[in-house]
DNA sequence: GTTGGAAAGTCAACAAGGCTGACATAAACT
DNA sequence: AGTTTATGTCAGCCTTGTTGACTTTCCAAC
């Protein structure tokens, strides 16, 4: 058992056994389920799903963002995003305003109704994150974020970081 | 900027601002994309997807596991899992053996071919995890796992922990 | 021994949310 | 004027999840 990939061990914390890595992988898998569980519960029954949650989140986060912008962040096709946005716009949760400088662009904003749903979703998700942070203790938070950042693709990390610095 | 949700700041690490929590949430979202990117790339083109990867992973992890066992771990319906398993069995990646003690049960094992694919998938995923751990540094790894564990649902955490202690 | 119920498998239908390709429109750029 | 860009839309497909209904197998309790 242990270090099945060959090479000698020694618990020098920067030599990482396959077993340590596997635990991290499984933790990531199981934790993501918890991460999405509360919003999923809120959304089930409504006509919406995880894709709607993501759109609401990033529109809330960057009000006035364009469709193209959102596409880049979400990493899906415009057809896929369009289906989601159409529903949100029809139901009056999102407002699509023609750009002033560039009239081809649509700038997206949450309505009162959209903002309300976004808040209930993010409240639930934040509550879980807060509880996890508290349970793990002060030191853990930084490590958590560092590993997650390092796990991203380079292009994703750039998006995350430019987003990170944008105040809400 | 910062602490948009009101309340005073002070970086007392256990007072968590909405902004800190939001960063964690977005990090989780973006990191999960990276987490699945490499296996997804390997599987595209084959007839398989993420669901097949998960089945292969946990069968490799707990050889001889029953279908019911796997259902509980994966958290999907038997119909959904069955479709995935059927494909893997037909293609000779997974072997389904009738239980000796209880002949209703099917015990699942990877074949040579299934083991090969599982290895290539987990090699890729481990490589990314290893790189992330290295980049984040020794201290970060523990914090990462602690927060993820705390983020899981209680029942999921129990599964994770009993799995965690099982040596491979 | 018969029967009740659990484990497993199967069929059918459906939904969400990805994808591609093709095409339309308007606006901006050159 | 012609090209590129931003967006939207139609049609169709795939994966992976769902529910419901039904069968077969087989253990275990009566």
Whether B15 has a pLDDT exceeding 50, the answer reads: yes
The band of B167, judged by pLDDT with boundaries at 50, 70 and 90, is low
Highest CATH level, class, for A18-136: mainly alpha
Domain regions of chain B by residue span: 18-136
Strand pairing category for B65-66 and A94-98: unpaired
Running DSSP on this structure, what letter comes out for residue B63? T
Under a CB-based contact definition with an 8 Å cutoff, are residues A147 and B140 in contact? yes
3-state class of A154 per DSSP?
A: helix
Residue B163 confidence (pLDDT): 86
Q: In what order do the strands lie in the sheet with A65-66?
A: A65-66, A106-110, A94-98
Residue B104 confidence (pLDDT): 83
Buried b or exposed e, range A61-95, using 16+ CB within 10 angstroms: bbeebbbebbeebbebeeeebeebbebbbebebbe
Q: Treating both helix axes as pointing N-terminal to C-terminal, what angle do B50-61 and B18-43 enclose, rounded to 10 degrees?
A: 90
The answer, for A72 touching chain B at a CB cutoff of 8 Å, is: no
Question: Tens digit of pLDDT for each residue in A7-63?
Answer: 434 344 568 899 999 999 999 999 999 999 999 999 988 889 999 999 999 999 999
Task: Determine the distance between B42 (CA) and C13 (C1') in angstroms.
Answer: 31
Answer yes or no: is B52 CB < 7 A from strand D. yes
Whether residues B129 and A168 touch (CB distance < 8 A) is answered with: no
Question: Tens digit of pLDDT for each residue in A93-122?
Answer: 999 999 899 999 999 999 999 999 999 999
Residue B168 confidence (pLDDT): 63
């Amino acid at each position: 058992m242990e270090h099945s990939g060959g090479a000698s061990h020694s618990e020098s914390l920067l030599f990482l056994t396959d077993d340590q890595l596997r635990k991290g992988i499984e933790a990531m898998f199981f934790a993501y389920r918890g991460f999405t569980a509360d919003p999923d519960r809120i959304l089930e029954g409504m006509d919406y799903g995880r894709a709607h949650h993501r759109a609401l989140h990033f529109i809330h986060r960057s009000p006035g963002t364009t469709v193209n912008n959102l596409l880049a962040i979400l990493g899906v096709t415009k057809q896929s995003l369009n289906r989601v946005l159409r529903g949100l716009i029809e139901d009056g949760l999102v407002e699509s305003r023609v750009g002033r400088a560039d009239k081809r662009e649509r700038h997206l904003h949450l309505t009162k109704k959209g903002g309300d749903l976004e808040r209930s979703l993010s409240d639930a998700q934040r509550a879980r994150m807060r509880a996890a942070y508290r349970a793990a203790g002060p030191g853990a938070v930084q490590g958590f974020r560092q590993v997650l950042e390092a796990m991203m693709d380079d292009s994703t990390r750039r998006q995350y970081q430019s987003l990170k610095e944008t105040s809400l």
